[in-house]
Amino acid sequence: MTVFNKKASNNKASNNKVPNKKVAKFLRSTPLQLFAIAGLTAGAFMLMSPSPIIAAANASDTALSVEQQQVKAIIKDALTNDPELLKEAIIALQIREQQGAESAAQSVLQEHHQQLYNTASDPFKGAENPEITMVYFTDFNCPYCKKIEPAINKLVEQYPQLKVVIKMVPLQGEGSRVATELAQTVWLNEPEKYLTLKNKLMESPRGLNGNTIAKVAKMTNTEHWLTNTDSAVAKQVHDNLTLMRNIGLGGTPSMIIGDTVIPGLVSYEVLESTLQQAISSQENKKQAVNDE
């Protein structure tokens, strides 16, 4: 996400007045920040509005308490002397909202950490004893999942310490459901055939249907599972779908690396950058523990 940072300006006109210390202190007072932001925003619109609106606002002054009138006067003075404060206030609010959203997301991921990373029935590829793990929600009939597969495969090749946990979810119709049930059954009973089957299903350029899935099953010597779905599969698929909803994922592909959720189709460079940040963060935490 983009974090906006205000660059200090050294080129203001000499006749611009700098807000006094009382105004600056008020605007940085934590209990009043949100009120100030709202006031700054409202004040800006009032200053730019036609005179009848300003007149109506002035008429309401008598209903305000002395303290409220003082606050309003401070805000008006700040806006008049330095309009840049409005921009600063909006940016501060955006940053605060972003930080709040990120904190909430991390809390949700922590709450569901066990299901995400330690579900024994989940297929995976990459390291058996990983240093870092990525969770990957995918659908066999999702065209964007098919497009991101090469990037994920490359990531596994380039980072041998990486494990990719695969959570299959049938969101794209009957063909998706049949393919998911077949692949999950194969993983539970003949895991050595799983990745070959999965790759062949993903390589199909069009949406999967019964005939296409049957051909792939025959090619991978897994056709005997087409009519013999493992009894555990229904619950596993249901759990994956429920987990998606609980952590707020809207579709596939969706990846989770460390504390970062990557929704949708992204480039290999985005995946690699996020992975490198997660590895660096993990190493820093280990170093901090060792230093204690």
* Predicted pLDDT of residue 47: 44
pLDDT above 70 covers a percentage of the chain that reads: 70
What are 67-115's pLDDT values in tens digits? 777 777 777 777 777 777 666 666 765 556 554 544 555 678 889 899 9
| Spatial contact of 189 and 233, defined as CB atoms under 8 Å apart | no
Split at pLDDT 50, 70, 90, the class of 28 is very low
d(CA 76, CA 83): 10
What are 118-127's pLDDT values in tens digits? 999 999 999 9
H-state helical runs in the chain = 21-27, 33-48, 51-59, 66-81, 84-111, 113-117, 143-158, 173-189, 194-203, 210-219, 233-246, 268-291
**Cis, bond preceding 83 (omega within 30 deg of 0):** no
In this structure, which long-range contacts are made by residues 112-118, counting pairs with CB atoms below 8 Å and at least 24 apart in sequence? 112/243, 112/246, 112/247, 115/239, 115/243, 116/165, 116/243, 116/247, 116/256, 117/165
* Predicted pLDDT of residue 154: 97
d(CA 143, CA 124): 21
- 46 pLDDT exceeds 90? no
Max mean pLDDT among 21-25, 65-69, 84-88, 205-209 falls in 205-209
Torsion of CA 170, 172, 176, 180, to 10 degrees: -20
9: left (phi over 0), alpha (psi -120 to 50) or beta: beta
* Predicted pLDDT of residue 74: 77
**Residue type at 105?**
A
| Spatial contact of 278 and 260, defined as CB atoms under 8 Å apart | yes
What are 146-160's pLDDT values in tens digits? 999 999 999 999 999
| Spatial contact of 137 and 167, defined as CB atoms under 8 Å apart | yes
Distances (CA, A) of 153 to 129, 146, 157, 162: 18, 11, 6, 11
d(CA 228, CA 214): 13
Query: What's the rounded mean pLDDT across residues 166-186?
Result: 96
- Higher pLDDT, residue 87 or 262: 262
Distances (CA, A) of 52 to 47, 61, 73, 281: 11, 15, 19, 56
d(CA 28, CA 55): 30
Distances (CA, A) of 42 to 76, 79, 89, 94, 199: 10, 11, 12, 17, 57
Does residue 133 sit in helix, strand or coil? strand
**Residue type at 181?**
E
